[in-house]
Structure 1
Amino acid sequence: MYRAVTRDIEVTVTPVYRPDESRPDEGRWFWAYEVGIVNGGELAVQLLARHWVITDAHGAVQEVRGPGVVGQKPLIGAGERFDYTSGCPLTTPSGFMQGAYRMVDELGEVFDIGIPAFPLDVPDARRVLN
Structure 2
Amino acid sequence: MVSAITEGIKVSVEVTYQPEFSSPHQQHFVFTYKVNIENNSAHTIQLLRRKWEISDAGDELKVVEGDGVVGQQPILESGASHQYISGCNLKSGLGKMRGTYTMERIQDGKLFQVTIPEFQMISQIFDN
TM-score range normalised by the length of the shorter chain: over 0.9
2:94 matched residue in structure 1: 94
Alpha-carbon distance in structure 2 between the residues aligned to 1:110 and 1:5: 16
Structure 1: state its 5+ residue gaps.
none
1:12 matched residue in structure 2: 12
Total equivalences in the alignment: 127
Extract structure 1 runs of 4+ deviating beyond 2 A. none
Alpha-carbon distance in structure 1 between the residues aligned to 2:48 and 2:41: 17
1:29 matched residue in structure 2: 29
Alpha-carbon distance in structure 1 between the residues aligned to 2:66 and 2:18: 24
Amino acid of the structure 2 residue aligned with 1:110: L
| Equivalent pair of 2:93/2:125 in contact (CA under 8 Å) | no
- 1:126 Cα shift? 6.4
Alpha-carbon distance in structure 2 between the residues aligned to 1:12 and 1:22: 25
Alpha-carbon distance in structure 2 between the residues aligned to 1:27 and 1:116: 26
Alpha-carbon distance in structure 2 between the residues aligned to 1:101 and 1:24: 31
1:66 matched residue in structure 2: 66
TM-score, normalised by the number of residues in structure 2: 0.95
Q: For residues 16-73 of structure 1, give each alpha carbon's deviation from its aligned partner in whole angstroms, at most 9, with x where no partner exists.
A: 0001111112110000000000000011100000000000114610000000000000
TM-score, normalised by the number of residues in structure 1: 0.94
SS of aligned partner of 1:108:
coil
Amino acid of the structure 2 residue aligned with 1:108: G
Structure 2: state its 5+ residue gaps.
none
